[in-house]
Amino acid sequence: MTDTTKETPAFGNANLPLSSFRFTKEDSKLILAHLVFSFIALFIGGFAGLLQGLERGGLVKLPPQMGYYQLLTAHGVLLALVFTTVFIVGFFYSGIARTLGKEMSKNARTFAWIGYYLMVIGSIVATITILTNDATVLYTFYAPMQASPWFYVGAAFLIVGSWFSAIAIFISYVKWRREHHGKASPLFAFMAVATMVLWIHATLGVVIEVVFQLIPWSFGWMPRMNVTISRTLFWYFGHALVYFWLLPAYVYWYVNLPKIIGGKIFSDALPRLTFLLFVLFSIPVGFHHQLNEPGIESFWKYLQVTLTMMVVVPSLLTAFSIMATFELAGREKGAKRMFDWVKKMPWKDARFFAPAVAMIIFIFGGAGGVILASYQLNSTVHNTWFVTGHFHMTLASTVLLTFFGIAIWLIPALNGRLLTPAINKLAIAQTIIWATGMTLMSGTMHIVGLMGAPRRSAFSTYGDHEVALSWLPYQLVISIGGVLLFIGVMLALFNFFYLLYFAPRAEKPVDYPIGEFAEHVKKPPKILERWSVWIGISIVLSIIAYSVPIMQMFQHDAPGSIPFRTW
Amino acid sequence: MNNMSDLSTFQKNQEQKDENLRGTLILVFFIGSIILLSWIGVFSIYLARL
Amino acid sequence: MDLPRYEKIWLTFGFGSLILFLVILGVMAFGQGLHPPDSMKTTIDPEKVETTAPFNEPGLKQIGPNEYRLTVLSYVFGYNPGTVRIPAGATVHFEATTRDVVHGLYIPNTNINLMLIPGHITEYTHTFNEQGEYLFLCHEYCGAGHHIMQGRIIVE
């Protein structure tokens, strides 16, 4: 923005931009609370990931009081559910405060704090049940394996807490729009609202599963429950969850990165349309996680496969739009030949480098995703390590590296410290270590998955069967990749805590980068902000995709399941 | 300035803009080919295992 | 909407590829009957599975010239039957279920990739042309012994 000054100090190949914008104390406190809690989850979840990775590689034998599947549950719950949700909410608050009137309203902050404490309490309760080995059910908690009821209560708190967070965002958004009648909302705020709309719609599925099935069943108030319905409700939520992780990364790419690379956002309408397509198509697609199970008619599985392919389209749009932003910025800086603009990008600036590497990895993540959704092809890879490799490239690389790239400037922007050149270099090294570790781990997982190695399994040679033995060298490579990734987590955490408590204080805080629009950009059509229309279509699509199959599940009336504790 | 020349400036601008995105076009097609090739790869594995 | 012309080209290509995938998959599915495993017709009470036909007698039954029905009951942490012998070229109709939690029945290097859900019977047909000892294993986490849950199909 215009209040940006380029003073000091030398930073990467550019000067570190400082800004006169300052978050209010209350907002800083709120957002930092979210970031810190998410980093604690990242640490525990990452450590659990390291241990189970070493066990699966056959490199360590776990002590008897620490189970492989218990660690795997902690890894999944703390990283995929807790870290992501809390970090995303914190990041959104920062952009909401920055773009909607410089601070959050008092009302919004009240909801935000309620949401925060609900999420923290829920996470802690769930984590305790995992640590006491009463909830070794992995983060998908498929019935009829039954965890302690408090695990499900914790999960419910986490989700309901995030609803309060969503309300805090909605309040800020509605207030701004009321005060700026007829104006299009700032892009960041629009995208945050779209993501939270998607999140609330999606979580309805898992909340119904948890509140009406798992909780009464695990407290013993209900002897049996229908497993197919519970899985269907879970995946109603489960695939949209993936987009809930991805969209905040897209927000950063669309809104913040153009500023960092010195470019302009070339369209105001297109990114909004992209996000609306996600709102429409990321929910009625859950069956592509259930393609190989009985009780769902083929026709409906195929229909949801078709819708899954539709949700690829906004990502295709994003790939072009983001790269076009880079190219236009590079050409503006004088790049002439075909790919000279690539060299004009600030590769030595970790705020750009981390998400740029994230984007490259996403090419492979995306390719794997299209394969997984391809109906019959799912039989070749379903529940093999291919799947694990896929979501470590998408969530644990594309999303996570982008979040790391966000955290290193967001923390100093909040607490008024400096993002020092040393930390910038360390963050670049961290990204390289991460990419290397992930290539070794996830790349190998894809290969060995195609060779038949199952996911979510402790070390086993299956009675020394030759097929299982052929996986062993790959498992070793995977473990080595896992060790590198753990080093990457530790480095990232070192950076964050240095920036939190030890980095030198700045007179002016680090600039909060918000991209500006190019001159020619037209005002987005009003229809894009008519939420009733988009939410309406989203609900209709879900009804089309789900109502008949769910009705069939009730008519079919498969006998319910009593609980089992098999660990 | 009449409408005609307005239009031609617009077209020229458009062409200029497209010209500026050649690199992007090539790179996205490169991404597309990775997706296509890996899909065909797993598809043939599926067929081989039928 | 400010959509650059090149972006339209890219979108047409991308969307076209996705449609092409869908057409290929759709023709294979609804033209040739190549679906992932499903089964809508039968449900079964997991608590009475051992006294309900056909799972009261799991195992291999010949139903035609080199054609078999293989009834598999899964449980923590194994399968009944655990080992099956069939001649090369045999077409096997799998019907499988679980007595307790969700299990999987997966044969690496084949497309036999079944989810076994309590209350349902999963069906799938496959022809074993090549001789060898095929490993089948559980690929859906089912508890502490998940990674030892396995069996063999020996094609002679």
Helix (H, G, I), strand (E, B) or coil at A298: helix
Nearest-Cα distance to chain A for C72, in Å, is 15
Whether B48 and chain C come into contact, CB under 8 Å, resolves to no
Question: Which residues from chain B sit within 8 angstroms of residue C14, using beta carbons?
Answer: 32
Kindly identify which residue of chain B lies nearest to residue A361, measuring between CA atoms. B31
User: Which residues share a beta bridge with C135?
Assistant: C152
Let me know if A456 is a catalytic residue.
yes
Let me know if A239 is a catalytic residue.
yes
pLDDT at C37: 86
Does pLDDT of B18 surpass 90?
no
Question: Which residues from chain B sit within 8 angstroms of residue A338, using beta carbons?
Answer: 22-23, 26
Let me know if A152 is a catalytic residue.
no
C-alpha A488/C-alpha A254 separation (Å) is 26
Does pLDDT of B4 surpass 70?
no
Helix then strand then coil, in percent of chain B rounded to 5, is 90, 0, 10
Does pLDDT of C75 surpass 90?
yes
C-alpha distances out from residue B42 to A423, B35, C38, Å:
42, 11, 22
What residues contact A25, with CB distance under 8 A and at least 6 apart?
A: none
Residue ranges in A451-526 assigned as alpha helix (H): 466-501
Confidence class for position B8, pLDDT limits 50, 70, 90: low
Annotate A349-399 with DSSP letters as a single string: -HHHHHHHHHHHHHHHHHHHHHHHTSGGGHHHHTTBHHHHHHHHHIIIIII
* Cis amide linkage into residue A64, ω under 30° from 0: no
C-alpha A275/C-alpha A190 separation (Å) is 9
When computed from its CA atoms, the radius of gyration of chain C, rounded to whole angstroms, is 20
Average pLDDT score over residue span C18-46: 92
Mean pLDDT by 10 residues, chain A (567 residues): 40 60 94 98 96 90 88 97 98 96 93 98 98 96 96 97 98 96 94 98 97 97 96 97 97 97 94 97 96 94 97 96 95 91 94 97 97 96 97 97 97 92 95 98 97 95 96 96 97 96 87 92 93 97 96 89 96
Annotate A110-151 with DSSP letters as a single string: HHHHHHHHHHHHHHHHHHHHHHTTS--STTTT-TTB---HHH
| C86-102 confidence digits (pLDDT tens) | 999 999 999 999 999 99
Whether C125 and chain B come into contact, CB under 8 Å, resolves to no
Among residues A82, A542, A544, the alpha carbon closest in space to that of A282 is found at A542
Evaluate whether A354 touches A401 at the Cβ level (below 8 Å).
yes
Of residues B23, B45, B49, nearest to A341 (C-beta) = B23
Kindly identify which residue of chain C lies nearest to residue B25, measuring between CA atoms. C6
Active-site residue, selected from the candidate residues A243, A278, A362, A364: A243
- C residues 61-100 near A, CB within 8 Å? 76, 100
Amino acid present at A196: M
User: To the nearest whole number, what is the mean pLDDT of chain C?
Assistant: 94
Phi, psi of A149 (to 5 degrees): -55, -30
Q: How many C-alpha atoms does C135 have within 13 Å on its Cβ side?
A: 24
Which uninterrupted H or E stretch holds A18?
Answer: strand A18-19
**Where in chain C does DSSP place strands (E)?**
59-64, 67-75, 78-80, 83-86, 90-98, 103-106, 113-116, 122-128, 132-137, 150-155
A367: which 2 tokens? 């390719």
Let me know if A556 is a catalytic residue.
no
C-alpha C82/C-alpha C153 separation (Å) is 8
Helix (H, G, I), strand (E, B) or coil at C136: strand
pTM: 0.95
